[in-house]
């Protein structure tokens, strides 16, 4: 059963009015608040760290969906728990010992997810799919908002859905990047559960309405 959840990405929010942006999300149909954490090493950009996340947590009434685009994420699991993360997602490409990292996240009481870059095949998840709570597929190259959607993502969602069903996994499918009404509807139709939308939500005249339409259109 597709859940149709929306996780707006705060990276595209107005940081000069962060409290009011979060309050808007609290009052909206959004399910989670998505946080993109970048280190300038794994991806060519730097976002924000623990003090900002703790501030977001203070005002957020929705669970924090934290996407780590950083090398050696296993070093910071405890800190992200303390900062208020609900779902902590690490990149397959950064984890030499992925199973151990997933177990570490779960041992701290968080949900654990794994993210795949656009070029990383679904088949690599064969032996971990039953251990994760969510798989996030990047539908753009990670590092910057506002990029064009990569069309191959639809096929990846279908392949991932097939793997989840075959292995009897309960993992959710999240897709991040290039989300709009057209791509969002197609992704939900393919079996995605959660859509991450940043610039499409926050650059609109009525972000709340956009969230609602993404979820129910």
CATH of the domain at 49: 3.20.20.70
* Domain ranges, residue 26: 5-216
39, β-bridge pairs: 46
Q: Is the pLDDT of residue 77 over 60?
A: yes
**31 catalytic, yes or no?**
no
Query: Can you point out the beta strands (E) in 4-58?
Result: 5-8, 33-38
pLDDT band at 3 (very low <50, low <70, confident <90, very high): confident
DSSP letter, residue 75: G
Mean pLDDT across the stretch 81-99?
97
- pLDDT digit string, tens, across residues 175-209: 999 999 999 999 999 999 999 999 999 999 999 99
Q: Annotated catalytic residue: which of 39, 65, 176, 193?
A: 176
Q: Annotated catalytic residue: which of 36, 65, 133, 193?
A: 36
Number of alpha carbons in the 13 Å side-chain half-sphere of residue 210: 22
pLDDT band at 146 (very low <50, low <70, confident <90, very high): low
Structural element, H or E, at residue 137: strand 134-138
Contacts with 39 (C-beta within 8 Å, 6 or more apart), sequence order = 46, 69, 70, 71
| pTM beyond cutoff 0.85 | yes
**176 catalytic, yes or no?**
yes
Q: How many domains does the chain contain in total?
A: 1
**Of the candidates 89, 167, 86, which has an alpha carbon nearest to the alpha carbon of residue 125?**
167
């Amino acid at each position: 059963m597709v859940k149709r959840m929306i996780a707006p990405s705060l990276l595209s929010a107005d940081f000069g009015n962060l409290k009011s942006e979060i309050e808007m999300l609290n009052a909206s149909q959004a399910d989670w608040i998505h946080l993109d954490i970048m280190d300038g090493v794994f991806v060519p950009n730097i976002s924000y760290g623990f003090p900002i996340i703790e501030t977001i947590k203070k005002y957020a009434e929705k669970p924090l969906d934290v996407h780590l685009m950083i090398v050696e994420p296993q070093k910071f699991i405890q800190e992200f728990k303390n900062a208020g993360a609900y779902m902590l997602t690490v990149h397959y490409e950064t984890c030499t010992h992925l199973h151990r990292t997933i177990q570490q996240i779960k041992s701290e009481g968080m949900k654990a997810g794994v993210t795949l870059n656009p070029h990383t095949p679904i088949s690599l998840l064969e032996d971990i799919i039953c251990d994760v709570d969510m798989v996030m597929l990047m539908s753009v190259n990670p590092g910057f908002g506002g990029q064009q959607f990569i069309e191959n993502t639809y096929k990846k969602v279908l392949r991932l859905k097939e793997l989840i069903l075959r292995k009897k996994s309960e993992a959710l499918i999240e897709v991040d990047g290039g989300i709009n009404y057209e791509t969002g509807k197609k992704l939900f139709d393919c079996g995605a559960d959660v859509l991450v939308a940043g610039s499409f939500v926050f650059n609109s005249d009525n972000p709340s309405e956009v969230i609602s339409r993404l979820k129910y259109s």
